[in-house]
Structure 1
Amino acid sequence: MTTRHEGVQLPMMQPLRRPSIIDQAELELRNAIYYGDLRPGDAVPEVQVSRQMGISRSSLREACQRLVRDGLLTQIPGRGLFVTRMDAETMSDFIDYRLGIEMQAATIVAEQVTRLRASGQDAQVDHLLAPLRACLERSRASLEAEEVIEAGNADLDLHQQLAELSRNRFLATSMNTIVILTRMGSFSDPLGFGVRADITSTHEDLLEALSRGDASRARALLRESLQELAARLRSGDEADEDTEVVRDPDLLESTAPEWPSLGEGGPTS
C-alpha cells in the first residue's frame, strides 16, 4: 500500500542549527548597550572584547557589523567602533521611524479588539491585552520603589509587547532594535537617565484606547508621548514644564562590561 507522502517533492529545507558564536556575541553586545554597560560614545575595542568573550576577532567583527547595520554601532575609519551617539537630527529621524512602526502595530491590535468585541469575545480581549497590563503594573511598582531603570525597562517592554501582539514579525523584529535605540537616546540625556513621572497614566490611557478598539486615539497617544520624548532628548532639558521626569543621576556614569566567555578552550571562529 502506498502512503500519501511517497513520491512527494519536498521543498529545499535549511538544516536547523543552534545559535552560533556570532549570534551569541551579537546578543551580548545588544544587552550591554540596552542595560547601559556600553553607553553612547563608548569604544568597542576589538582585541579586548574578543579576548573577554573568548572568541576570535573575526567572529566579533562579524557580530559588530550586524549592529553597525542596525545603527547601534558606528564605525569610524582609522579609529574603530563606537556605540552610536544620537544627535538631534538622528533623534528626529529615529522618532519618525518608531512612530511608523508603533502606530501601525497599535492599529492592528485595535482592529483585533474590534473584531473580538463584535463577536462577543470580551474575555479574549482581556487575554490579548494582559501582557500590556502586566508591563503597566511593573512600571507602577517600580516608580513607587524609586527604581527608575526598571520603570524604563517596563515601559520599553510594553511597547515591545504591543508590536508582538500585532503578530507581524517585521514590526516585532523592528521593535527589537527600536527599544535599544530608545535606551541609547535616554542614556545620551546629559541630565541623567529618566522616565516620565506620569508614565503609568500614559500607559493606562493607551490601554483604554486599545481596549475600546479606538485605533485613532491610540495613535494620537503614541504620537504625543514619542514627540515629548524626542523633544526632551534633543534639548537635554525638560521640554514641557507640565511633564515631570524622574531621573537617576547615578546612571550618568558608564562602566565597562565584563564579557562572559562564549568559547570553550579558547577563541573559536
Structure 2
Amino acid sequence: MSPRQEAVRLPMMQPLRRPSIIDQAELELRNAIYVGDLRPGDTIPEVQVSKQMGISRSSLREACQRLVRDGLLTQIPGRGLFVTTMDARTMSDFIDYRLGIEMQSASIVADRVAGLRAGGDDAGVAALLAPLRETLERTRRALEAEEVIEAGNADLDLHLQIAEITRNRFLISSMNTIVILTRMGSFSDPLGYGVRADLTEANARLLDALDAGDDSRARAVLRETLKELAGRLRSGETHQELVRDPDLLESDGPEWTTLGEE
C-alpha cells in the first residue's frame, strides 16, 4: 500500500519579483541625500521629482515612506516631506544606536582575527583586513589633497566595510542606513561639513586593534571617536582640529536624474 499523501498547508506568500521602480526610486533618493544634493531641511517636491524620475506619484510616495521609516525623511502633516534635520536630541539617540551596531561589528571582526592568529594564519588576517587598509590609504590621500568630502566618504566606507566583513546581513543593512544618517548629521552642522584632521590616525588605531584581535581596544577606539562626533554635531564644540569645506553649505537644490540614465 502506498503511503497516504496528506495535503500540505502553505502560508500565504507574495510572488517574487525583480527590483521594482520603487526600489530604484528609493536608491535614487538615498544617493541624493548621501552626496548632499538633498540637504537636511530640503523639501521633496512630489510633482517635480516624480516627473523627473519618470515614475508615478504613488510610486514616489511609497519609496519616500521607506525613507521615513529609516529616519532619512520626515513627514509633516499638511506640509509634506523633508530631509530629516539631525537636531541635538536626534543626534544623541543616533550615536547610541550607531555605537551598538559598530561595536558589535568590531567585536565579531576582532574575534575572527583572534581565531586566525591562534591558528597561525597571518596571511588570512592580512587578506581579511586588506580592504580596510586600502580605504585607510584613501583617507590619507584625500586629506593630503584637501578633498574633505572624499575623506569623509572613505571614513564612512571603512566603517561600512567592518560590518561587511562580519557577513551579518542585519549589521550590514543597519550600517548602510547609518552612513547616510551620519552624512546628514555632518551636513546639519552650521559651521560647514568637516572631518577630523587626525582622521587617518584615529582609523589607524581602530585597524591596529582589529589586527591584534583586541575586542576591548577596538570598542574603546570606536567609543572615543563616536562620542567626539556626537559632541561636535550637537554643540559645535570639539577638542579635535577639524578640516572643513564651507562650500558644502551652499546648495542650488537637488539635481534629479532620470532613472536608468547613464
For the superposition of Structure 1 and Structure 2, which TM-score range results when normalised by the shorter chain? over 0.9
The one-character-per-residue Cα deviations of 1:190-236 (angstroms, maximum 9, x if unpaired) are: 1100000000001111000000000000000000000000000001x
SS at match of 1:17: coil
Q: Is the 8 A contact 1:53 1:263 kept in 2?
A: no
TM-score (norm 2): 0.93
Deviation at 1:257, TM superposition (A): 2.3
RMSD of aligned C-alpha atoms? 1.7
Deviates more, 1:91-100 or 1:160-169: 160-169
The one-character-per-residue Cα deviations of 1:108-131 (angstroms, maximum 9, x if unpaired) are: 000000000111110000000011
SS at match of 1:261: coil
Listed as ranges, the gaps of 5+ residues in structure 2 are 1-7
Deviation at 1:14, TM superposition (A): 7.0
> 1:150 and 1:260 mapped to 2: Cα distance?
22
One-letter amino acid of the counterpart of residue 155, structure 1: D
Deviation at 1:106, TM superposition (A): 0.2
The one-character-per-residue Cα deviations of 1:19-59 (angstroms, maximum 9, x if unpaired) are: 21000000000000000000000000111100111100000
Rate the CA distance shift 1:212–1:263 in 2: closer, same or farther, 3 A: closer
**1:70 counterpart residue number:** 70
**Aligned runs of 1:1-269 on 2, under 5 Å?**
17-235=17-235, 237-240=236-239, 243-262=240-259
User: Aligned pair count?
Assistant: 252
**2:5 counterpart residue number:** none
Q: Is the 8 A contact 1:231 1:239 kept in 2?
A: yes
The one-character-per-residue Cα deviations of 1:246-268 (angstroms, maximum 9, x if unpaired) are: 0001000123222222389xxxx
Name the % identity: 78
SS at match of 2:195: strand
Rate the CA distance shift 1:161–1:263 in 2: closer, same or farther, 3 A: closer
Q: Is the 8 A contact 1:52 1:258 kept in 2?
A: no
TM-score (norm 1): 0.90
The one-character-per-residue Cα deviations of 1:171-208 (angstroms, maximum 9, x if unpaired) are: 00000000000000000001100000000001111000
Q: Is the 8 A contact 1:99 1:223 kept in 2?
A: yes
> 1:225 and 1:207 mapped to 2: Cα distance?
13
Q: Is the 8 A contact 1:192 1:251 kept in 2?
A: yes
> 1:76 and 1:147 mapped to 2: Cα distance?
36
Between 1 and 2, higher relative CO (CA 8 Å, sep ≥ 6) is seen in 1
> 2:126 and 2:16 mapped to 1: Cα distance?
36
